[in-house]
């Protein structure tokens, strides 16, 4: 990499560096892979599933707000039309 190219530093790299500077050095400078690849894949999969649950929860919350708004609108209309 030349001096002028910028490299994206991911949050996982910062966490790895904060946890163990030598581990970060082995992975990012020396180019040696971790021996825990199976557990790392499991962690990646677990994070993906959790992310999906977060997205679904946000959509459910928005749907709930829609139901509440519809109920309030229905009550106001029925009250005015009486």
Give CA torsion, residues 17, 20, 23, 24, to 10 deg.
Answer: 10
Q: Give ∠ CA 61-63-65 in degrees, rounded to 5.
A: 70
**Position with higher pLDDT, 25 vs 73:** 73
Instruction: Specify the pLDDT at position 40.
Output: 82
Residue-wise pLDDT for 2-58, tens only, equals 567 788 888 888 888 898 888 888 888 888 877 888 888 898 899 999 999 999 999
């Amino acid at each position: 990499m030349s001096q002028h190219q910028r490299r994206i530093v991911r949050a996982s790299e910062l966490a790895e560096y904060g946890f163990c500077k030598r581990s970060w050095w082995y992975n990012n400078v020396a180019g040696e892979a971790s021996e825990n690849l199976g557990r790392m894949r499991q962690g990646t999969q677990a994070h993906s599933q959790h992310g999906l649950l977060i997205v679904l929860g946000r959509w459910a919350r928005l749907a709930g707000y829609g139901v509440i708004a519809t109920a309030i609108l229905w009550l106001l209309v029925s009250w005015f039309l009486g």
